[in-house]
Chains A and B, each alone.
Chain A
Amino acid sequence: MMTSVSLAAATPDSVLTEHQSVWRLQDTDTWKNPALHGQAFKTDYTQLVLDLHYTDQTEAFVLQKGTGGTLYEIEADTYLHLSDHSTVWGKASYMTGKSRHITWSSVSDYELLEPYILADTLGGNTERERYVFEGGYATRLNRLLLGGEMLFRAEHEYRTTDPRMRAIVTDLTLRTGAAYETATYRWGAAAEANIYKQTDNVTFFRETGVIPEFQMTGLGAVYVRFSGEVNNLYFNGGGTQLYLSTQPRNGRGLFAHITVGEHRYERIAASLNSLPLTKLYREEAKLQTGWWKDGKTHWAVYADAQYTRRLGDENMVGSSLSNNYPILTTLTMYKNTLIDASMNVVYGQRRHTDWHIALKAGYTENKETYVEPERRQESRRLYGRLGAQHIAAVGHKGVLTCALTATCLRNLDSRLSIPVLNTEAAVVKMLNHNFRYLKADYTVVDTQVRYDHPVGTGRMALFGIVGGGVTFCSEGEQEQQLTMTLGISF
């Protein structure tokens, strides 16, 4: 049901509040179901923004992700009600920028594909470009809600000095969903299909500076036979995901979201007659359930648990006859389980201002093993987060949004066990470096200030955001982040 918008001088603009408040944003899991995304907001919102995002770590916390980057983005997104019962939303963005001091990774989307990546010891800075197009539509037929969505991402990452890596990513996701409304509850189910492809190659312009590119197979293990000069790879992958949810309609009650999904990514050596080297499987199950109460004073208490199991299959390749490589057998050599469980409390009020505080206490665990020769890396952590947001009207028509978050991560125990004697020294150094940061303690402080200033008599407003954050690491190193945004909303 649409409500007419009125700009009251004393209270912050309700459109802004609706789209910016952390209270609504905790529902982002539900909105993966396009049918339910159509019910996300009562008001329309469109914006065009220019973004600058800067990150810098004094020393790379994860060598493969580098020490940071400078990214510029231009983005347009919208959420519109076409009528009483249909909604449309979309987004288009272009990002360009640079990542700094990446080593041990010659691919894009490291976190998605690791450990099955191409890597070298030298690395360097990379240039990046990204295009994103998203669009969705939802409609209501009495008690039935239906929706569909498409998300597309294309990325291009490359380096202009040796080793010259080049990665091109295309990532397409299609979602379809339905929901059913009873008197008090809304039940939703959605399914998603994803197709992913990345092509990678590394070339050297200086013949004397050629270094080997390693095919990594997990925790420092290397597929030596195909390392060195097999510099043309592609990844084929994709998967499916299922979203189930239930939420109260009248603003009070039990809610639950379940996500399950499976994705696979195969690494194929293009120059070896398209020989598949490895395949990574990722299975995820996520559950969020709790109780909420909406209203002028509102609160929610919920538990969040996520379980991810990643398995890596390695193909044991036989002797080649005229570039035809037989696969003798396939074995699951790499295993990784990740757990993240937390309890959350959100409390807030919507009176003259809109303010919230959120508290989160959680536990994470990451266990990786490589079967033979045996390698293991484990870490367990406790974390806590306290956040606050305040949205208030300023002057006649302006709105000021302030947010502050502090997070603390403490290591419980951790372990790294690798066959040091039978592993190359450079690889051992890389593993030890990443492990130091994996088992460190962190304190993160983030703040953000946004000011919206309406212009003209219509819905249009100009806004600016300045945000920054610092992460302190118990290893003595730090990360700094800075975000600046300029935008128009209407």
Chain B
Amino acid sequence: MKKRLNRYTLILLTAVLAGCHQELTDYHTVARVTLGLPDTINVIRIQGTMTLQSLNTTTTTSTADMNGHTFETTVLRGAYKVDVNGMVRYTGQDGATRTRHYRAHTDYTPFADKPLSEAVLPITLLEE
């Protein structure tokens, strides 16, 4: 009798514990930001730093690792403000080579999809 009751108790406990809240641990995703380059330029070399600021906590992270004209970094999933600053060397339609600063910005972009969240940011070439 005692043994059976013990067993029932154990089963009951397990059932209760199994109904416990599962931790949601899908914390990070890869944020891939591709710079939108104007058609009129032919890029020779581009570099820059992308800064992501979480809209919820205002924490910032940055990366200067560019692959072509794309940044990839692992971030905590959520909503972000994105700023990119850098320089690009290109040949224009007239064939002349120029080096100019550029900037890209968005006030809001969500990076929540797993395993990859993508965004495209058009660049603005600054006067030189």
- A–B contact, 8 Å CB criterion (strictly below): yes
Query: Size range of the interface on A?
Result: 20 to 34
Residues of B within 8 A of A335 (CB): 23
Mark B68-110 against chain A: 1 for CB-CB distance below 8 A, else 0.
0000000011110000000000000000000000000000101
The winner among A244, A318, A373, A422 for most chain B CB atoms within 10 A is A318
Once the chains bind, are A317 and B56 in contact (CB under 8 Å)? yes
Query: Does A225 touch B at the CB level, under 8 Å?
Result: yes
Among the 9-residue stretches A33-41, A325-333, A377-385, A388-396, the one with 4 or more Cβ atoms under 8 Å from chain B is A325-333
Knowing A329-B112, A331-B27, the reply to whether A422 touches B16 (Cβ < 8 A) is no
Q: Is A244 a contact of B25 with CB atoms below 8 Å?
A: no
**Complex: A316 Cα to B24 Cα, angstroms:** 12
Partner of B24, one of A246, A264, A313: A313
Whether A316 and B20, one on each chain, are in contact in the complex, defined by CB atoms closer than 8 angstroms, is no
Distance, CA A399 to CA B31, complexed state (A):
74
A337 to chain B, nearest CB (A): 12
Interface positions of A from 233 to 285, Cβ below 8 Å from B: 242, 244, 246, 258, 260, 262, 264, 281, 283, 285
| B44: Cβ under 8 A from any A Cβ | no
Within 8 Å of chain B (Cβ to Cβ): is A372?
yes
User: How many positions in chain B have a CB within 8 Å of any CB in the partner chain?
Assistant: 27
Task: Considering the complex, give the chain B residue whose CB is closest to the CB of A327.
Answer: B112
Which of chain B's residues have a CB closer than 8 A to the CB of A332?
A: 23-25
**Least CB distance, B109 to chain A, in whole angstroms:** 9
Find out whether the CB atom of A331 lies under 8 angstroms from the CB atom of B108. Answer: no
Q: Is the CB of B26 within 8 A of A331?
A: yes
Q: Known contacts being A329-B26, A331-B27, is A242 close to B77, with CB within 8 Å? A: no
Binds B, one of A11-19, A24-32, A76-84, A216-224: A216-224
| In the complex, per-residue mask of B1-42: 1 if CB is within 8 Å of any chain A CB, else 0 | 100010001001100110111011111000000000000000
Query: Is A455 close to B, CB under 8 A?
Result: no
Q: Answer whether A331 and B57 are a contact pair too, CB < 8 Å, given A258-B9, A318-B110.
A: no
Q: Is there a chain A Cβ closer than 8 Å to B46's Cβ?
A: no
Across-interface contacts of B58 in A (CB, < 8 A): 224-225
Minimum CB–CB distance for B127 against chain A, Å: 31
Complex interface: chain B residues within 8 A of A244 (CB): 9, 12
- Chain A residues near B17 (CB, 8 Å)? 260, 285
Interface centre among A225, A313, A329, A330 (most CB of B within 10 A): A329
Q: CA of A328 to CA of B26 in the docked complex: distance in angstroms?
A: 12
Q: Judging by beta carbons under 8 Å apart, are B12 and A242 in contact?
A: yes
Q: Is the CB of A422 within 8 A of B59?
A: yes
Contact A262 B19 (CB under 8 A): yes
What's the Cα separation between A182 and B2 when bound, in Å?
11
Specify which of A281, A328, A422 is in contact with B77 (CB 8 Å cutoff). Answer: A328
Most interface-central of B17, B26, B57, B78 (chain A CB within 10 A): B57
Complex Cα gap A425–B57 (Å): 16
Which residue from A226, A316, A371 sits with its C-beta under 8 Å from B112? A316
Q: Which of A186-241 contact B (CB under 8 A)?
A: 187, 221-226
**Are B27 and A319 in contact, CB atoms less than 8 angstroms apart?**
no
B64 on the A face (CB < 8 A): no
8 tightest Cβ-Cβ pairs between the two chains A and B: A328-B112, A316-B78, A281-B21, A332-B23, A329-B112, A332-B24, A319-B108, A224-B58
Q: What are 19 of the A-B contact pairs (CB < 8 Å)?
A: A221-B57, A222-B57, A223-B57, A225-B57, A226-B56, A242-B12, A258-B9, A258-B13, A262-B20, A262-B21, A281-B21, A283-B21, A313-B24, A316-B56, A319-B108, A328-B79, A328-B110, A331-B27, A332-B25
